[in-house]
Amino acid sequence: MRKKQKICDRLIPIVLIAVFLISSGMFLRDYLSYRQADDEYAALNRYMTADGSGNPDGQNSENGGTGADNAADGNSQKNRSTVPSWALPFDFFYEPLHVDLNALSEKNPDFVGVIDIPALEIRYPVVKSHDNEEYLHRTFDGTQNAAGCIFLDKDAPADLSAQNTFVYGHNMKNGSMFGKLKEFRESGAVDRFPYVFLYTPEGTFRYRIFACSEVEASHSIYLGFRDGEGYDAYIRMARNLSAYSMPENDEVDFAERPKLLSLSTCTGSSHTMRYVVQCALVEKN
């Protein structure tokens, strides 16, 4: 009996040390993976800047001119005739991005645009593949990484012409990718700045958030609709599910059936639960 006790006494520290080493190794692996992805996406920020000084390599941008030209007149960006009309009423809160679409397209042919969610400081390039698997663990530059990339649903037109476009991103533990979306659960978080922007070759899309919901991955919110009545029923369902209520006197008129943008990520509480932020198009420039 004593012999067995001695063996147990010796094994317990060994097991604890092994558990510690394995846990430390997993933590280090995750840290390095997060750091690698964060560094990559931070480097891409120079192609999507808010001060008009993008295009650091001095190449011609999609709006013409060189990076040096854009930097020189960055302070007068708001006075240009090219500034979208929707930027003027709330430019105190939001500076429109200068996005070098050409440079990002050259880096990745699957590039379709840049998503910007100012309230949560989410800003990433968006891609589209032939399936919804490729970019789950592949970053924008093609590196294998758990962070993956923000991507459009495989069946969504890249020009955002679908009546409801789904965009997916991981709920990363360090808050990267769509890891901050769940912050919209907080009371008043959406109304602080309720807009999502997509900068694409087809133009700049401004969407107004109208619903934030937690649903099962198999929920009908991920299904489409065939006609106007189906659209109306879908909007009623989305708003009934939502923990957020958009003011009735807001700029969104669902009677006109504006196109929708739905952002989806995992909740972190269950493998089958998803957090969905839904938006309606209010202007395109």
Are 162 and 147 spatial neighbours (Cβ–Cβ below 8 Å)? no
> Annotated catalytic residue: which of 98, 170, 212, 279?
170
Closest Cα partner for 271 from 125, 171, 136? 171
Per DSSP bridges, beta strands 150-152 and 122-127 are: parallel
DSSP-based three-state secondary structure for 176: coil
Burial of 248 (0-12, 13-18, 19+ CB in 10 A): exposed
The span from the CA of 118 to the CA of 192, in Å, is 10
Burial of 185 (0-12, 13-18, 19+ CB in 10 A): middle
266 is catalytic: yes
- Work out the angle at residue 281's Cα, subtended by the Cα atoms of residues 77 and 200, and round it to the nearest 5 degrees: 50
219 is catalytic: no
> Annotated catalytic residue: which of 98, 149, 212, 266?
266
The span from the CA of 21 to the CA of 17, in Å, is 6
The pair of structure tokens assigned to 236 is: 């009623």
Residues annotated as catalytic (active site), given as ranges: 170, 266
